Amino acid sequence: SDTSLKATAAASGASATERFLTDKIGTSAPTDTARVDILATEIITALHDVIRRHQVTYQEYDALKSWLISVGQDGEWPLFLDVWVEHVVEEVAHSTREGSKGTIEGPYYVPAAPELPSVATLPMRAGEPGTPLCFTGQVTDVSGEPLPAAVLEMWQADDEGLYSQFAPGVPEWNLRGSVTTDDEGRFAVTTVQPAPYQIPTDGSCGRLIAAAGWHAWRPAHLHLKVSAPGHESLTTQLYFRGGEHIGDDVASAVKAELVLEPKPTADGGTEAGYDFALAPS
Ligand code: MBD
Ligand code: FE
């Protein structure tokens, strides 16, 4: 494929940083002084402990300083945090929540995607590459009562692993939509199977991965935000049984409950079902 169309660190990092500053600023209210004192002190102390335990050198300290500066220059703080930190925040936030499992949001959500009916096709290009996927299911409360007019926001990478609005050359709302469930809480969405996603290798996060001998891959996934009045919104992802990197997601965001069982269809496509149960708010 044409490497000029690959998501570069500069392009996707700058977009993800801009997105975060637009959507999330103001929602992160400052906590009280005592809380900041404890958290900041313990984080800094944890770093001191690593330096002592591993006898970190001045050369390594300067490499760290230079790398931290470059993460900001590349706009890759959203990527770094969502890949290596968010999964623990999500675990802590939702450890006792009833209903379907959530997982990390990641850096590529965009609010206000095109509104679609309960039976819909995600916006896509004519001849969108990839295996057609019919994704069906039902949204209920935790007792199994259907939730009509629940909203299922979906976003995903295309067959090349590119996200619209974060990779160049992809139409603005490609493979993004807000689906409303029918009066039984059901939906049926036609899309294409996403490809596994490789985080940009040409930026600071890529340099860390190469330097540490890790890999840069996430398994193929659908992102979802499911919401209904009177219920807690669910941010989650769904994966595909047997998909590459299901067992070694760089972002540690796979859970056993979130793996779809895709079945081939007569017309050469794939179908998969998933039901969502939302906790009361
Ligand atoms: C992704 O597509 C993603 O979902 C996460 C969490 C991080 C980087 C890219
Ligand atoms: Fe993703």
| pLDDT number for residue 78 | 97
Chain centroid to Cα 119, Å, comes to 24
The ipTM estimated for the assembled molecules is: 0.97
Residues of the domain holding 188: 93-278
Whether 218 contacts 153, CB under 8 Å: no
Q: What residues form DSSP beta bridges with 115?
A: 178
Residue 54 lies in a domain: no
We report the CATH number of the domain holding residue 156 as: 2.60.130.10
From 233, 196, 209, select the one nearest 84 (Cα to Cα). 209
Strands 176-180, 115-116: pairing is parallel
Q: Which helix (H) or strand (E) holds 3?
A: none
| 181 membership: H or E segment, kind and range | none
Cα of 104 from ligand 2 centre, angstroms: 9
* 199-213 pLDDT, tens digit each: 999 999 999 999 999
Return the residue matching tokens 């007792």: 143
Instruction: Determine contact, residues 249/218, Cβ cutoff 8 Å.
Output: yes
| Ligand 1 atom, smallest distance to 223 CA | 4
In a domain, 231, yes or no: yes
**Domain-located, residue 23:** no
How many domains does the chain fold into? 1
Tell me the C-alpha distance between 177 and 163, whole Å: 13
Distance between CA atoms of 181 and 275, rounded to whole angstroms?
12
Q: Is residue 28 part of a domain?
A: no
pLDDT digit string (tens) for the chain, length 281 residues: 444 446 677 788 888 999 999 888 766 666 699 999 999 999 999 999 999 999 999 999 999 999 999 999 999 999 999 999 999 999 999 999 999 999 999 999 999 999 999 999 999 999 999 999 999 999 999 999 999 999 999 999 999 999 999 999 999 999 999 999 999 999 999 999 999 999 999 999 999 999 999 999 999 999 999 999 999 999 999 999 999 999 999 999 999 999 999 999 999 999 999 999 999 99
Q: Which amino acid is at 5?
A: L
Mutate to test the pocket of ligand 1, among 20, 82, 105, 166 (most ligand atoms within 8 A of CB): 82
Residue 121: closest CA among 129, 109, 139, 133: 133
Q: Which ligand is nearest to the CA of 90?
A: 1
Answer yes or no: is 85 within a domain: no
Ligand 1, closest atom to CA 106? 6
Residue 26 Cα to ligand 2 midpoint, Å, equals: 24
- Please check whether residue 17 lies inside any domain of the structure: no
Q: Whose CA is nearest to atom 1 of ligand 1?
A: 106
Q: Which atom of ligand 1 is nearest to the CA of 251?
A: 6
3 Cα–ligand 1 center, Å: 20
Q: Distance between CA 138 and CA 88 in Å, rounded?
A: 28
DSSP letters along 98-140, please?
-SS------S---SSPPEE-SEEE----TT--S-EEEEEEEEE
pTM for this entry = 0.95
How many angstroms separate the alpha carbon of residue 115 from the centre of ligand 2? 20
Q: Closest Cα to residue 131, out of 173, 168, 159, 98?
A: 159
Q: Return the ligand number nearest the Cα of 76.
A: 1
CA-nearest residue, atom 5 of ligand 1: 106
Q: Would you list the DSSP string of 30-79?
A: ---HHHHHHHHHHHHHHHHHHHHHTT--HHHHHHHHHHHHHHHHTT-HHH
In the sheet that 234-240 helps form, which strands lie side by side, from edge to edge?
A: 115-116, 176-180, 151-156, 221-227, 234-240, 259-260
Q: Which residues surround ligand 2, an ion (CB under 5 A)?
A: 106
What is the CB neighbour count within 10 angstroms for residue 76? 28
Q: Would 263 be classed as within a structural domain?
A: yes
For residue 20, give the DSSP letter: H
Q: How many CB atoms lie within 10 A of CB 279?
A: 17
| Distance separating alpha carbons of residues 3 and 1, to the nearest angstrom | 6
For the record, the structure tokens of 230 come out as 């009177």
Q: Which ligand is nearest to the CA of 217?
A: 1
The pLDDT value recorded for residue 3 is 43
For residues 228 and 151, the answer to whether their CB atoms sit within 8 Å is yes
Pocket of ligand 1 (CB under 6 A): 79, 82-83, 104, 106-108, 197, 199, 218, 251, 253
Residue 56, domain member (yes or no): no
142-166 residue pLDDT tens: 999 999 999 999 999 999 999 999 9
